[in-house]
Structure 1
Amino acid sequence: MCGRYTITVSLDELMLRYFIEGTPLVNYTPKYNAAPVQQIPAVIHDGTRNRLGELRWGLVPSWSRDDKGGSTRINARAETLLEKASFKGLIRSRRCIIPADGFYEWKQGPDGKRPMRIVLPERRIFSLAGLYDIRVDEEGNRLSTCTIITTEPNSLMADIHNRMPVILTPEAETQWLDRSNEDIPSLLRLLQPYDSSQMRAYPVSAAVGNVRNDYPELIKEA
């Protein structure tokens, strides 16, 4: 699964990376320990251009009777997307990208589990494949939520965990965000394990295990 990640760059860097012209994220701050049920930055395409906004991590389907249950849908398995009622209708038109520059996973060792941070070369920004939905209650209040898609681990991640988030290649990003793309089989083929040779994992402080902790020292190599 993917239950914690980081996006530590500036808002300007995010906007430049995803060709964003303007954004409502006036209160954006870097996240060193993004966790479920938090508001997180996300990118969608409105049919004309990319848009950067916030979604709550943990999907609540539009048809849900209430706004509960999001914490149980923080991830969606790529292999079973079309089998789950909460996700199967979203892949056609409600796809999003979750920008990240690292994610955490816990590796089992002789002395227990130890948190690891996984990054790309030069710790550059990468795109996690996601799905989103919007629930409107009887009073007209909108709740926009998302889930991060996971897949089988590559050789690097297999030594740490049995799942990993789907990291889209730059070419796949455009296809994933394109709202006119309704070719489900081709979209599903984008959800592959990322090239392990382009990833690095290193141990970090156990303090990352507490969701209340969110500061730069968390990403330092322990």
Structure 2
Amino acid sequence: MCGRFTLMASWEEVVAYMGLLEVEPFPPRYNIAPTQPILMVIAAEPRQPGSNLPDRRAMLVRWGLIPRWAKNPKSLPLLINARSESAEERGTFKVALRHRRTLIPASGFYEWKTVGKEKRPFFLKPRDGGLVAFAGLMETYADPNGSEIDTGAILTTAASADIAPIHDRMPVVVRPEDFARWLDCRRLEPRDVADIMRPAEPGLFEAIPISDRVNKFANVGPEIQERIADAPPLAVEPQKPAKPPAAPKDDGQFSLF
């Protein structure tokens, strides 16, 4: 499960890490929530042979995939995640996995550990700093009135050994050397990139206990990532699968969508 994440890098860092043609400058975002616009990277039109120009571009997509076949999106659950193990068999995600694989730059994500009746939030960030790229899927939904909206979801997989004590799922993290393969939907089918949809290597992320200020998506400042000093040590024993926190409702405040 991935219900919140963050992108704090500068647009120059995102361009360099993702190998983009260009991207409009954007401010740091510390608490990205479902239904908000997120940055997705897709393959651009092929360049001329021998060109050194990047062949990827970025676009803003509503976080919450709406299948093309949906007649009434409001009757569907909010599809912010897709299980990588079953996405190819599910009609909701099958076509996107074949034809519209994307990358989502991120500076980390948030997860909640269930302890009794309490949910303790953690900020999971790359241990060495910098960016990571989540595997994503995109669909363009056309409503009955003819207007279109680009929507997307994050692929998830089983948690790595160091994240499992917090939650049993995590985003699929695509390594830079696999970017080109993952985005190549012209030649490569899901079975050709199945090896990419695996847990991240242990030690990639550092788990920082934080306060419950992150629970409110109206809290968007860097203070939500501050480590709390009195956090109990993180248990290493396996935990029962926890129900994720309820996704925030779209109250219409995001004018882009």
TM-score normalized by the length of structure 2: 0.80
Separation in 2, partners of 1:147, 1:114: 24
| Superposition deviation, residue 161 in structure 1 | 0.5
Aligned to 2:217: 211
Separation in 2, partners of 1:56, 1:68: 15
Aligned to 2:226: 220
Separation in 2, partners of 1:81, 1:111: 31
Unaligned runs of 5+ in 2: 47-54, 229-257
Alignment of 1:53-68 (within 5 A): 53-68=59-74
Large movers: runs of 4+ above 6 Å: none
Letter of the 2:151 partner, please give it. Answer: T
Q: Deviations over 1:190-219 (max 9, x none)?
A: 100000122211111210001111111112
Give the paired residue count.
220
Letter of the 1:4 partner, please give it. Answer: R
Separation in 2, partners of 1:70, 1:89: 18
Alignment of 1:135-150 (within 5 A): 135-150=141-156
Aligned to 1:45: 43
For the residue of structure 2 that corresponds to 1:16, the secondary structure is helix
Alignment of 1:96-107 (within 5 A): 96-107=102-113
Alignment of 1:1-222 (within 5 A): 1-23=1-23, 25=24, 28-48=26-46, 49-68=55-74, 72-109=78-115, 112-222=118-228
% of aligned pairs identical? 35
For the residue of structure 2 that corresponds to 1:40, the secondary structure is strand
| Superposition deviation, residue 71 in structure 1 | 5.2
Separation in 2, partners of 1:119, 1:55: 23
Letter of the 1:32 partner, please give it. Answer: Y
Checking the alignment, whether the CA contact within 8 Å between 2:88 and 2:190 is kept in structure 1 is: no
| Superposition deviation, residue 171 in structure 1 | 1.6
Q: Deviations over 1:91-135 (max 9, x none)?
A: 111001111011000112367221001111332100000100001
Checking the alignment, whether the CA contact within 8 Å between 2:156 and 2:169 is kept in structure 1 is: yes
| Superposition deviation, residue 138 in structure 1 | 3.6
Separation in 2, partners of 1:73, 1:188: 21
Q: Deviations over 1:72-104 (max 9, x none)?
A: 211000111122111011111100111101100
Separation in 2, partners of 1:125, 1:137: 35
Larger of the two Rg values belongs to structure = 2
Q: Deviations over 1:157-210 (max 9, x none)?
A: 110001111111112222111232333212122100000122211111210001
- Cα distance, 1:214–1:187 mapped onto 2, change above 3 Å: same
Unaligned runs of 5+ in 1: none
Q: Larger % of helix: which?
A: 1
- Cα distance, 1:57–1:153 mapped onto 2, change above 3 Å: same
